[in-house]
Amino acid sequence: DRHAALAPALDQLGELEREAGNLEASIERFGEAGEIRDAALGVDHPETATTLVGMARTFLAMGKHETAKGALEAAKRILGTH
């Protein structure tokens, strides 16, 4: 299993990939971060919302507005419970 401490670095890599225009790689990095956080911290942990917001930004850059909206709504739900 990958340690939860890797998730912030993967989020940062996702941001960098998006800025470089590597949108598919960005989603992959955020997906890895999300899987690690879900397993280590739980799906409703506030840090999971950070990953969801990053994914939403990448989905917006891809023109996938509905998918981005879903990720943002999930982040909002998580943050609303804490």
Give tens-digit pLDDT for 25-79: 999 999 999 999 999 999 999 999 999 999 999 999 999 999 999 999 999 999 9
| CA neighbours closer than 13 Å in the CB half-sphere of residue 60 | 12
What's the CA gap between 10 and 25, in Å, rounded?
Answer: 11
pLDDT digits (tens, 9 = 90+) for 1-30: 678 899 999 999 999 999 999 999 999 999
| Helix or strand run (H / E) with residue 58 | helix 46-61
| CA neighbours closer than 13 Å in the CB half-sphere of residue 24 | 0
Other CB atoms within 10 Å distance of the CB of residue 81: 9
Question: Dmax of the chain from CA atoms?
Answer: 34
